[in-house]
Amino acid sequence: MRKVEIGDTGMLTLVIGLLCILVLVFIVPSRTRSWVYPIVRQAVQIKVNYETRDMASYETEHFRIKYTSSDADVVGMIAEASEAAYQPVVNALGYAPRGKNLILIHPNKNELRQAFGWSDNESAMGVYWGGTIQILSPHVWLNKGESVEEFIHSGPMVHEYTHMVFDYVTNGNYPRWFTEGLAQYVEYRVNNYEWKTKSNTLDASMYTMAELDQQFDELPNQALAYRESLAAVRYIAEVYGEDKLQEVISGLKAGKTMGNSISQALGQDYPLFTSSWQQWAILHMNTETGK
């Protein structure tokens, strides 16, 4: 495909336009957001493509991976893990984004932090935002000698690709806790992987639903917030069935709120849903810790 070069003036215009559209996304009604949001996502992708235009590129059937020379020796492993994630996630959500999905590999934590304006104490193995998966180089976190299979099992590809596909399905109509819970749930189903620590045991000290809804990223115990989000999604799927989980997703796709989507799919109001999944989680998800 021919590269489209954008001059500095054109890029500045694009960024200003993108910021204006982002403002619109948050002030217009949800039905209008459903067609504005894809425009924003496409604009972000254009911006990322421009900023990474000089990076090396590696293509697979469904992904285009951009990387620096320091990651040339691991790009094949990332490609294999990405393709391994593709079909299970597509099957789980019943949707495949068009074209080749962009993956950007950051060689170190500093570059990943700079890309998202994070502080020095923030980091992640992977991030999905604006139609692009951005991951931290496996050189930083994968133990020496670990195999491709270990990277597929414990790496970020299933998790982040679930975020991407779900974002396309719903056009951004979801709270943070639900997309994180869903991504972990698909990861749990595909790789039998859960993020368990001594600090995220599910008990009476759990965050409230209001805290998860309104402050998810600011909560001090992120391990617990993530564990709770998985518990809520697992509760829907394991107590009511996968079909009901798909109904919740369909409600979000149709522009309904999280509360309405859950109430209509499960036949219980949001407060009852909250108390129910928390009680279920305490009984069913505390058998192991420390993974």
The H or E element that residue 6 is part of is none
pLDDT digits (tens, 9 = 90+) for 59-68: 999 999 999 9
pLDDT digits (tens, 9 = 90+) for 128-175: 999 999 999 999 998 877 788 888 888 999 999 999 999 999 999 999
What local confidence, expressed as pLDDT, does residue 35 receive? 77
What local confidence, expressed as pLDDT, does residue 164 receive? 98
What local confidence, expressed as pLDDT, does residue 119 receive? 82
The span from the CA of 103 to the CA of 113, in Å, is: 16
Q: What is the residue whose two structure tokens read 């204006």?
A: 20
What local confidence, expressed as pLDDT, does residue 31 receive? 53
The span from the CA of 82 to the CA of 101, in Å, is: 10
How far apart, in Å, are the Cα atoms of 92 and each of 236, 249, 261? 15, 11, 18
What local confidence, expressed as pLDDT, does residue 36 receive? 87
How do the domains of the chain map onto residue ranges?
1-53, 55-168, 176-284
What local confidence, expressed as pLDDT, does residue 192 receive? 92
How many Cβ atoms are within 10 Å of 211's Cβ, its own excluded? 15
- Domain 55-168: which CATH class? alpha beta
Burial (CB count <10 Å: 0-12, 13-18, 19+), residue 178: buried
pLDDT tens for the chain, 291 residues long, are 222 233 344 444 444 444 444 444 445 555 556 678 999 999 999 999 999 999 999 999 999 999 999 999 999 999 999 999 999 999 999 999 999 999 999 999 999 998 888 887 777 899 999 999 999 999 999 887 778 888 888 899 999 999 999 999 999 999 999 999 999 999 999 999 999 999 999 998 899 999 999 999 999 999 999 999 999 999 999 999 999 999 999 999 999 999 999 999 999 999 999 999 999 999 999 865 444
What local confidence, expressed as pLDDT, does residue 189 receive? 96
What local confidence, expressed as pLDDT, does residue 285 receive? 94
pTM score: 0.87
The span from the CA of 55 to the CA of 68, in Å, is: 6
Who contacts 254 (Cβ-Cβ below 8 Å, separation ≥6)?
A: none
What local confidence, expressed as pLDDT, does residue 148 receive? 83
What local confidence, expressed as pLDDT, does residue 187 receive? 97
Amino acid sitting at position 108: N
What local confidence, expressed as pLDDT, does residue 30 receive? 54
